[in-house]
Amino acid sequence: MISTQERAATMARPEDESEGPGRPGSAAAERPPLAGLSREPSVCRGISPWLAPVAMLATQDLALPLWFRSITVRGQQFLPLHGPVLLAPTHKARWDALLLPHAAGRRVSGRDCRFMVTVDEMQGLQGWFLQRLGCFAVNQLRPSLASLRYAVELLEAGEQLVVFPEGRIRREPAVPRLQQGLARLALLAASKGVQVPVVPVGIAYSHSLALPCARAALHLGAPMQIQGEGREAAKVFTAQLAAAMTVLESQAAESIGLPSLPGSCPGVLQDGGPEPSGAPDQSP
């Protein structure tokens, strides 16, 4: 069973009490396509107003509760509810793409998770669905200018964009090795006048293959901001982000009874402070 203690605590904050477009409890599921996304038709099909609610029901209310014995979510107080945000999760299994909307999607933040995915993931029947659920592809070796500009447009529109900085699934318990694509995207957005907070996320499963009846955990960390310009700034930020993601994945692992990652310090969040008290656990 999936507990919702922390989600309820997050939703009860004063700034969340009023309903309106893009807020929990509003008609967010029926909102029209975002204005100003001039490249959307050429890059993706946006978010289908009929498929998105069906997919949410099928994944959040059926697939996740039936597959996992428990899901622990912590750190939702770090999730910005307004303005652009980049979510930077570790990549442990294909289930990650369902856990992230569970922890940060419409029912929590009032807005969708828009995913940047690899070209291979947009093939066949899976690609048909992903194209209609707000996902768009990027070639990791040679990213197209249209895809990068579309990502910046999403951020300019105040959307929540998910990018897996590792670029691949890592099942082994090792320190994540990140590519610099997310940092470069944040720098590109900054060059357009869009300052984007980057929220590191650690994900862990009690079984490396996320088998049925496994336990899952997802920990969000304090938002980070990239500083400076150019390649050196991207390199420095990528190293800082990797350290934060390592800590958070270690915390997620420990919350479901697994050892922390080597070289991490699980008792401290990436902002240098202790893990906040009063952050309820979503485990049963």
Q: Which residue has the tokens 């049963």?
A: 284
Note the pLDDT of residue 42.
64
CA dihedral angle for residue 244, residue 249, residue 254, residue 258, rounded to 10 degrees: -140
**Number of neighbours of residue 40 by Cβ within 10 angstroms:** 18
The first and second tokens of residue 68, run together, are 């996992």
Query: In whole angstroms, how large is the CA radius of gyration of the chain?
Result: 18
Note the pLDDT of residue 278.
33
Nearest-angstrom CA–CA distance, 159 and 137: 17
3-state secondary structure 188-207: HHHHCCCCCCEEEEEEEECC
Dihedral pair phi/psi, residue 87, rounded to 5°: -95, 130
Grouped pLDDT means (10 residues each) for the chain, 284 residues? 42 36 37 53 80 95 97 97 96 95 95 91 88 88 83 95 94 91 95 96 95 97 96 96 96 94 54 35 39
Q: Answer whether 240's CB lies under 8 Å from 259's CB.
A: no
Across the strands, what pairs with 137? Answer: 117
Note the pLDDT of residue 19.
35
| Half-sphere exposure at residue 98, Cβ-oriented, CA atoms within 13 angstroms | 19
Across the strands, what pairs with 199? Answer: 87
CA dihedral angle for residue 250, residue 264, residue 246, residue 271, rounded to 10 degrees: 100
Does pTM top 0.85 for this prediction?
A: no
The b/e string for 216-232 (b: 16+ C-beta within 10 A; e otherwise) is bbbbbbbbbebeeeeee
